[in-house]
Amino acid sequence: MSEVAIVGVGCVGFQPILPELSYKELMYEAAVKAYDDAGVDPRKDIDVFVTCAEDYLEGFSIFDEFVPDQLGAVLRHLFTVSGDGLLGLANAYMLIKTGHFDTVVLEAHSKASDLLTLMDVIAFALDPVLNRPLGGHPYYVAGMEMNRYLHDTCTTVEQCAQVVVKNKKNACGNPYAAYGANITLDQVLCSDMCFYPLKKLEISTPADGCVVMVLASEKVAEKLTDKPVWVKGVGWCTETPNLETRDWSKAVDTRLAAEMAYKTAKIHNPRKEIDLAEVNDLFAYKELQHMEALKLCAYGEAGKLTEEGVTARNGELPVNPSGGLLGMGYGLEASGTEKLLEVVLQLRGEAGRRQVSNVEVGLAHAWRGIPTTTGIAAVLSNVK
């Protein structure tokens, strides 16, 4: 079975709002960058195109219709994954692994600014009979989860707030980040209480942007680039849609996804073998919970490590050097590809001011947000 590599990346955004470009033009701009980066002509060189989108986030039924032209995929083999960009990566990876396809393009984007009622749409994802009629802002689900997580692990609110300080600071060095800032722990702790114990500054803000990547089989990758980033393993899992029966404290989906990815990638000791991690931080506590589920540390240990600076960019285990979603902005279904982009740039040594030294293995992780329990993890390396 062929190895799979990422051979080109392109990103536009992320910015709080990109009003001058339509979603199509946004995707086109990112695609052109990715194809230039990979040195491919999409009209001839690409076997399959994968786009990741959800209808209600776009304002369409069947968003797939509006995708091919701007990616160069007219009369080509394209499909939509209704999921996070990282789930698109999983499918692109499998396609190449079949041996039938050599080149796959992956696209995910956010035009969150086109959607005026994001929270109402998210509420529309709740169970229509049991949960939705109760009303309220859907992020109360995150408040409940954070509360249980803090209760079970003795993680402190200060430790959660520290994630925000770190990530927004990291984002200051990232040209793709929308919300970089130097803020203090007190500012986070004093921000409005929204969904107890979750505070305003601990919640990622939506942003517009698009990420396109080109993946290739071993033989094609080595022709195209001398800096391939290898996809060593991908794992994904859905726990349960039911609020009533899920595990509220442990991010089981992410743990199972990580186990699958590590198995393929032959990672036995994640903490030691992974040089940097980009984990989902849609809410600050999620970074901590996810670090634990990803086995980067013991259950309940992530808060302490964060406080000690272990997860800072120059720490022993850099987590979200990109600035994460708290710093880059919440890119809806592109959230996972924001993470993936950073890992690729870091492994290529192209992360500029954010570059972490001596990196060989990186981890990208995504979670699909409220109200889902779907997690995806990918292990990447610049060594085959």
Partner 1 sequence: MSEKIKNYRGEALKSADIKEGRVPTEKCRPKAKFAWSAGIAIGRFLEELKKAKIIASTCSKCGRIMVPPRIYCENCFKPTDGWKYVKDTGTINTYSVSYLAADATRLKEPILVAIIDLDGASEGMGIIHKLGEVDKEKIEFGMKVRAVWKPKEERVGSITDIKYFKPVKEETP
Partner 2 sequence: MFGKKRVAIVGAGLTLFRRRLKETGKELSYEASKMALDAAGMELGDMQSVVMGTAPDAFDGVHMKGEYLADGAGAYRKPYTRVFVGGGTGVFTPLAGWWHVASGQFDSCLVVAEEKMSSCYPHPQFAFTTIFDPILERPLGMNLIWIFALEMHRYMHKHGIKKEDIARVSVKNKGNALDHPCAQLGAKITVEDVLNSEIMAWPVQRLDVSPTSDGASALVLVSEDVAKEVTDNPVWIDGAGWCIDSTHWTNRDLYYPDYVECAARMAYKMAGIKNPPKEIDVAEPYDPFDYKELHHMEGLLLCKKGEAAKLTAEGVTQRDGDLPINPSGGLLGVGNPIAAAGLMKVCEIFWQLRGEAGKRQIPGDPRTGLAQAWGDLMQYGSVIVLRR
What one-character DSSP code corresponds to residue 2?
-
Q: Is 61 in the site for partner 2 (CB under 8 A)?
A: yes
Q: Where does this chain touch partner 2 (CB under 8 A) — which range of 87-95, 180-188, 206-214, 319-327?
A: 87-95
What one-character DSSP code corresponds to residue 283?
B
Q: In which element (H, E) is residue 342 found?
A: helix 335-348
Output the CA–CA distances (angstroms, integers) from residue 241 to 120, 135, 138, 186, 370, in the order listed.
18, 18, 14, 35, 10
Q: Which positions from 216 to 235 touch partner 2 by CB under 8 A, shown as an x/- string?
A: -------------------x
Helices 140-153 + 284-293 axis angle, to 10: 50
Q: What is the spatial distance between Cα 383 and Cα 164, in angstroms, rounded to a whole number?
A: 32
Q: Where does this chain touch partner 2 (CB under 8 A) — which range of 95-103, 147-155, 282-290, 336-344?
A: 95-103
Q: Where does this chain touch partner 2 (CB under 8 A) — which range of 166-174, 301-309, 356-364, 369-377?
A: 369-377
Output the CA–CA distances (angstroms, integers) from residue 181 to 140, 201, 294, 332, 336, in the order listed.
26, 11, 27, 21, 22
Judged by beta carbon, residue 149 or residue 236, the one nearer partner 2 is 236
Q: Is 258 in the site for partner 2 (CB under 8 A)?
A: no
Q: Is 68 in the site for partner 1 (CB under 8 A)?
A: yes
The entry of partner 2, partner 1, none that residue 77 binds, CB within 5 to 8 Å by partner kind? partner 2
Residues 298-327, interacting with partner 2 (CB under 8 A):
none
Q: In sequence order, what are the residues at sequence separation of 6 or more whose Cβ sits closer than 8 angstroms to the Cβ of residue 22?
A: none
Q: What is the spatial distance between Cα 134 and Cα 150, in angstroms, rounded to a whole number?
A: 25
Task: Label the pairing between strands 208-217 and 193-195.
Answer: unpaired
DSSP string, 289-304: HHHHHTTSS-TT-HHH
Q: Is 93 in the site for partner 2 (CB under 8 A)?
A: yes
Q: Is 44 in the site for partner 2 (CB under 8 A)?
A: no
The entry of partner 2, partner 1, none that residue 46 binds, CB within 5 to 8 Å by partner kind? none
Q: Is 201 in the site for partner 2 (CB under 8 A)?
A: no
The entry of partner 1, partner 2, none that residue 237 binds, CB within 5 to 8 Å by partner kind? partner 2
Q: Is 84 in the site for partner 2 (CB under 8 A)?
A: no
Q: Is 82 in the site for partner 2 (CB under 8 A)?
A: yes
Q: Sort residue 364 into left (φ over 0), alpha (ψ -120 to 50) or beta.
A: beta
From 3, 16, 21, 97, residue interacting with partner 2 (rule: CB under 8 A): 97
Answer yes or no: are the C-beta atoms of 317 and 308 closer than 8 Å: no
Reading the block at residue 217, the tokens are: 């089989």
Q: Where does this chain touch partner 2 (CB under 8 A) — which range of 33-41, 125-133, 219-227, 352-360?
A: 125-133
Where on the chain is the footprint of partner 1 (CB under 8 A)?
18-25, 28, 35, 41-43, 56, 59, 68-70, 72, 74, 111, 113-117, 120-121, 124, 128-129, 132-133
